[in-house]
Protein backbone atom coordinates (compact mmCIF):
# COMPACT_ATOMS: atom_id res chain seq x y z
CA UNK A 1 0.00 0.00 0.00
CA UNK A 2 1.35 3.40 -0.93
CA UNK A 3 0.87 5.69 2.09
CA UNK A 4 1.70 8.79 0.05
CA UNK A 5 -1.21 8.11 -2.27
CA UNK A 6 -3.61 7.41 0.60
CA UNK A 7 -2.67 10.49 2.61
CA UNK A 8 -2.58 12.74 -0.45
CA UNK A 9 -6.29 12.07 -0.99
CA UNK A 10 -6.80 13.58 2.47
CA UNK A 11 -5.02 16.77 1.35
CA UNK A 12 -2.38 16.47 4.07
CA UNK A 13 0.82 18.46 3.93
CA UNK A 14 4.22 16.74 4.07
CA UNK A 15 4.74 17.54 7.76
CA UNK A 16 1.39 16.01 8.71
CA UNK A 17 2.11 12.91 6.61
CA UNK A 18 5.48 12.58 8.34
CA UNK A 19 3.79 12.88 11.75
CA UNK A 20 1.23 10.21 10.86
CA UNK A 21 3.98 7.86 9.67
CA UNK A 22 5.95 8.45 12.88
CA UNK A 23 2.87 7.82 15.03
CA UNK A 24 2.19 4.62 13.07
CA UNK A 25 5.76 3.40 13.47
CA UNK A 26 5.84 4.14 17.21
CA UNK A 27 2.58 2.25 17.78
CA UNK A 28 3.14 -0.61 15.33
CA UNK A 29 0.21 0.39 13.13
CA UNK A 30 -0.20 -0.23 9.41
CA UNK A 31 -2.57 1.57 7.05
CA UNK A 32 -3.83 5.13 7.28
CA UNK A 33 -7.35 4.17 8.34
CA UNK A 34 -5.90 2.23 11.29
CA UNK A 35 -3.67 5.18 12.22
CA UNK A 36 -6.52 7.69 12.05
CA UNK A 37 -8.81 5.40 14.06
CA UNK A 38 -6.12 4.97 16.74
CA UNK A 39 -5.67 8.73 16.97
CA UNK A 40 -9.40 9.41 17.21
CA UNK A 41 -9.77 6.72 19.90
CA UNK A 42 -7.54 8.84 22.14
CA UNK A 43 -10.13 11.61 22.07
CA UNK A 44 -13.11 9.58 23.23
CA UNK A 45 -14.74 10.46 26.53
CA UNK A 46 -15.81 8.03 29.27
CA UNK A 47 -18.98 7.07 27.37
CA UNK A 48 -17.00 6.21 24.23
CA UNK A 49 -18.15 9.25 22.27
CA UNK A 50 -15.66 11.43 20.41
CA UNK A 51 -14.92 14.54 22.50
CA UNK A 52 -14.75 17.12 19.72
CA UNK A 53 -13.55 19.81 22.13
CA UNK A 54 -10.46 17.77 23.09
CA UNK A 55 -9.83 16.94 19.44
CA UNK A 56 -10.12 20.59 18.40
CA UNK A 57 -7.75 21.67 21.19
CA UNK A 58 -5.24 19.11 19.94
CA UNK A 59 -5.63 20.30 16.34
CA UNK A 60 -5.18 23.89 17.51
CA UNK A 61 -1.95 22.86 19.27
CA UNK A 62 -3.25 23.58 22.77
CA UNK A 63 -3.13 20.09 24.26
CA UNK A 64 0.51 19.08 23.90
CA UNK A 65 1.77 15.80 22.48
CA UNK A 66 -0.48 12.92 21.55
CA UNK A 67 0.66 9.82 23.43
Render 3-47 in DSSP notation, one character per residue: HHHHHHTTT--HHHHHHHHHHHHHHT--SHHHHHHHHHHTTB-TT
Mean pLDDT, all residues of the chain: 75
Better-predicted residue by pLDDT, 62 or 21? 21
Q: How far apart are CA 3 and CA 9, in angstroms?
A: 10
What is the distance between the alpha carbons of residues 51 and 4, in angstroms, rounded to a whole number?
Answer: 29
| Greatest pairwise CA separation for the chain in angstroms | 35
**pTM for the whole structure:** 0.49
* C-alpha angle 30-42-39 in degrees, rounded to nearest 5: 30
**What pLDDT score was predicted for residue 42?**
84
Amino acid sequence: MNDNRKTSTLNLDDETRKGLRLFAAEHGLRGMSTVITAILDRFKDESGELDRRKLQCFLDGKSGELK
